[in-house]
Structure 1
Amino acid sequence: MLKILPDKVYLKLQYKYTTGKKLNLKEPKTYGEKLQWLKLHDRKSYYTTLVDKYEVREYIKNKIGEKYLVPILGHWDNAENIDFEKLPQKFVLKCNHDSKSVIVCHDKDSLNIKDTINHFKKKLKNNAFYYGREWPYKNIKPLVIAEEMLVDETGNDLKDYKVMCFNGEPKLIQIHKERFNENEEYTIDYYDINWNKTNITANTTCSKEEMDKPEFLEEMLYLSKKLSQDLPQARIDWYYANNQLYFGEITFFDASGYDVFDPSEWNYRLGSWIDLSIIKKENYLSQSINENRG
Structure 2
Amino acid sequence: MNKKVIDAIRKNPNRILISLIGNKYFKWIPDELFLKTVYFLRTKSKLNLKNPQTYNEKLQLLKIIQKDPKMTDLVDKFKVRDYVEGSIGKQYLVPLINSYNSVEEINFKDLPHKFVLKSNHDSGGVVICPDKNKLNVKKTKKILNKSLKRNFYYLGREYPYKNVTPKIICEEFIEDKNQKELIDYRFFCFDGKVEMIALDFSITDKSNTRRNIYDKEWNLLEEEITYKREVKTPPKRPDKLEEMIELSEKLSKEFAHVRVDFYYINNEILFGELTFYHQSGFAKFKNEEFNHKLGSLIQIKSRFEKL
TM-score bracket, normalised by the shorter chain, equals over 0.9
- Counterpart check, 1:99 vs 2:123: yes
Report if aligned partners of 2:126, 2:144 keep a CA contact under 8 Å in 1: no
Structure 1 equivalent of residue 222 of structure 2: 199
1: CA distance, partners of 2:104 / 2:146: 12
> Which residues of structure 2 form unaligned runs of 5+?
1-24
Residue 260 of structure 1, aligned match among 259, 267, 284: 284
Report if aligned partners of 2:239, 2:267 keep a CA contact under 8 Å in 1: no
The offset of 1:40, in angstroms, is: 0.4
The offset of 1:280, in angstroms, is: 2.2
The offset of 1:153, in angstroms, is: 3.3
- The AA in structure 2 aligned to 1:176 is D
Please list, as runs of the form range in 1=range in 2, the aligned pairs for 1:1-294 lying within 5 A after superposition. Answer: 1-154=25-178, 156-180=180-204, 185-209=208-232, 210-281=234-305, 283=306
1: CA distance, partners of 2:138 / 2:265: 31
- The AA in structure 2 aligned to 1:107 is D
The offset of 1:269, in angstroms, is: 0.2
> Which residues of structure 1 form unaligned runs of 5+?
285-294
1: CA distance, partners of 2:164 / 2:157: 14
Structure 2 equivalent of residue 287 of structure 1: none
Instruction: Tell me the number of residue pairs that the alignment of Structure 1 and Structure 2 aligns.
Output: 282
Report if aligned partners of 1:41, 1:279 keep a CA contact under 8 Å in 2: no
Measured against aligned partners, the alpha-carbon deviations of 1:187-243 in whole angstroms (never above 9, x if no partner) come to 111111100111121221211233311101000000001111021000000001243
State the Cα RMSD in Å.
Answer: 1.4
1: CA distance, partners of 2:302 / 2:67: 13
2: CA distance, partners of 1:216 / 1:158: 17
Q: Please state whether the residue corresponding to 1:246 is helix, strand or coil.
A: strand
Structure 2 equivalent of residue 290 of structure 1: none
The offset of 1:181, in angstroms, is: 5.1
Report if aligned partners of 1:32, 1:260 keep a CA contact under 8 Å in 2: no
The offset of 1:155, in angstroms, is: 5.9
1: CA distance, partners of 2:59 / 2:105: 37
Structure 1 equivalent of residue 20 of structure 2: none
2: CA distance, partners of 1:181 / 1:8: 32
* TM-score between the two structures when normalised by the length of structure 1: 0.93
2: CA distance, partners of 1:202 / 1:156: 23
* TM-score between the two structures when normalised by the length of structure 2: 0.89
Measured against aligned partners, the alpha-carbon deviations of 1:57-100 in whole angstroms (never above 9, x if no partner) come to 01111100000010011111111211211111111111100111
Which segment is superposed worse, 4-13 or 80-89? 80-89
- The AA in structure 1 aligned to 2:265 is A
Tell me the percent identity.
41
Q: Please state whether the residue corresponding to 2:198 is helix, strand or coil.
A: strand
The offset of 1:3, in angstroms, is: 2.1
